[in-house]
A = this chain, B = another copy of it.
Amino acid sequence: MLYSDKILRTPSSFIRNILKVASAEDVISFAGGLPNPISFPIDGLQKAINEAIEVHGPKLFQYSTTEGYLPLRQYIADKYNTNFGLAIEPEDILITTGSQQALELISQVLVNKGEGIIVEEPGYLGALQAFSLTEPTFYPVQLTEEGLNVEQLAQTLYENPCIKFIYTVPNFHNPTGITYTRENREAIYEVVKKFDVVLIEDDPYGDLRWNGEKLPYIGAGRLENSVILGSFSKIVTPGFRIGYMITKNKELLNHVNTAKQATDLHTNIFSQIVIHDYLVKNDLTTHITKITDLYQQQARSMIQAMEKYFPPTITYTKPDGGMFIWVTLEEGVSALELFNKAMEAKVAFVPGDPFYTNKSNVNTLRLNYTNSSPEVIEEGIKRLGKILYEIPSKQLI
């Protein structure tokens, strides 16, 4: 066999195929996960580009260091220290090619074939793909409305000393939109501190909050093996592929740095400098408010439409931020079958299946609202509701 075991076991994107059928012009699509273009400050970036070329010249176009542009790392450190009362230094930060890259690198650095990773159930598909390249054993822990099932987390850790890290998305989780409560975070901390494992808090959506107060991280500032992942993809631009990893564990960061060097030498330096110049010369808070005002309005439209058009037996999350709503159909109803019916009515979403490591024909699905107007959202949900009322559950299994 020419190919490696790990690539044959890596799921290629189920979502990619769905997005293909969902991208037809006459389809109302809630399937994507793209930020709204309103989040790209194009004029500000154009200005930053012109100034950066004038000020930095060839430096923008030359090879650069693996760890990343120091002023950008300083900006990130300041932001987290101000917002969360942490004591992060630029030396605790590695700039990555999107935070997606950090997922693969951390997995490479920690996991031998067969060793364990705790993932949320359901969880971010992109993380499952990134981790698969190290051929781990996945230990799913149930995600509840409050956050991780702490009892199951503790039991899983006790029973499986092979577990190397825990992967979480505590704010406006993908795919569910759930935010871990303060109490749940505290309870997770009390469990995790007893084990020699890494806790990853992947936080691409944290800034997109329109309701409630920012919550502290679970491990940052108090767990030795705490890792925060962040990104500029949802608040400035995903096209530049600029993410970052923060940890006070110097040995871990050093290993990830070595792996990154082996993987792509360093992150696009032009984009790093331009993003930094944009950030220091513009009011990010005002920009983010513009995004969250829109997303809040879109999320509200979707929830109001679901209250109006969906059978009352169907439940869904009500996010305080982020980009997704998670819908739970009646027990035994297959979201995948619903998807096929919905496509006939020209509405698309992502059936829950790819967000689980070992389940299929689940009764859950993900809705994205960030790229449709309130009118389109109402029409799409109305069509879905019609199908849900018309078709008896058993026909959907």
User: Residues of A at under 8 Å CB distance from B?
Assistant: 2-7, 10, 12-13, 16, 34-35, 37, 40, 42, 45-46, 49-50, 53, 57-58, 60-64, 66, 97-98, 100-101, 104, 108-113, 115, 126, 129-130, 132-134, 164, 196, 198, 225, 233, 237-241, 251-252, 254-255, 257-259, 261-271
A241 partner residues in chain B, CB cutoff 8 A = 97, 264-268
Given A4-B108, A49-B49, check contact A239 B268 (CB 8 Å).
yes
Please tell me which one of the listed residues B2, B60, B108, B257 contacts residue A198 in the complex, with CB atoms under 8 A apart: B2
Given A58-B37, A265-B98, check contact A7 B258 (CB 8 Å).
yes
User: Which residue of chain B has the shortest Cβ distance to A237 in the bound complex?
Assistant: B61
A49 partner residues in chain B, CB cutoff 8 A = 49
Whether A100 and B37, one on each chain, are in contact in the complex, defined by CB atoms closer than 8 angstroms, is no
Rounded to whole Å, the gap between the CB of A231 and the closest CB of chain B is 11
Which A-B residue pairs are the 6 nearest by beta carbons?
A: A37-B58, A61-B237, A129-B262, A40-B61, A61-B239, A12-B258
Rounded to whole Å, the gap between the CB of A347 and the closest CB of chain B is 22
The copy count of this chain in the complex is 2
A66 partner residues in chain B, CB cutoff 8 A = 16
Please tell me which one of the listed residues B132, B198, B263 contacts residue A130 in the complex, with CB atoms under 8 A apart: B263
User: Which residue of chain B has the shortest Cβ distance to A269 in the bound complex?
Assistant: B239
Whether A134 and B261, one on each chain, are in contact in the complex, defined by CB atoms closer than 8 angstroms, is no
Whether B13 and A261, one on each chain, are in contact in the complex, defined by CB atoms closer than 8 angstroms, is yes
Q: A113-B113, A239-B268 are in contact. List 15 more A-B contacts (CB 8 A).
A: A2-B110, A2-B164, A4-B108, A4-B115, A10-B259, A12-B258, A100-B262, A100-B263, A101-B263, A104-B264, A130-B263, A132-B262, A133-B259, A241-B268, A264-B264
Whether A4 and B239, one on each chain, are in contact in the complex, defined by CB atoms closer than 8 angstroms, is no
A196 to B53 alpha-carbon distance, docked (Å): 48
Please tell me which one of the listed residues B101, B225, B237, B262 contacts residue A133 in the complex, with CB atoms under 8 A apart: B262
A266 to B16 alpha-carbon distance, docked (Å): 13
A266 partner residues in chain B, CB cutoff 8 A = 241
Please tell me which one of the listed residues B12, B115, B233 contacts residue A261 in the complex, with CB atoms under 8 A apart: B12
Given A130-B263, A268-B239, check contact A40 B12 (CB 8 Å).
no
Whether B7 and A259, one on each chain, are in contact in the complex, defined by CB atoms closer than 8 angstroms, is yes
Whether B4 and A112, one on each chain, are in contact in the complex, defined by CB atoms closer than 8 angstroms, is yes
Whether B255 and A268, one on each chain, are in contact in the complex, defined by CB atoms closer than 8 angstroms, is no
Whether A97 and B264, one on each chain, are in contact in the complex, defined by CB atoms closer than 8 angstroms, is yes
User: Which residue of chain B has the shortest Cβ distance to A132 in the bound complex?
Assistant: B262
User: Which residue of chain B has the shortest Cβ distance to A102 in the bound complex?
Assistant: B264
A326 to B57 alpha-carbon distance, docked (Å): 32
Given A2-B110, A62-B37, A63-B238, check contact A104 B258 (CB 8 Å).
no
A40 partner residues in chain B, CB cutoff 8 A = 58, 61-62
A254 to B198 alpha-carbon distance, docked (Å): 32
A58 to B46 alpha-carbon distance, docked (Å): 12
A60 to B267 alpha-carbon distance, docked (Å): 17
Whether A264 and B98, one on each chain, are in contact in the complex, defined by CB atoms closer than 8 angstroms, is yes
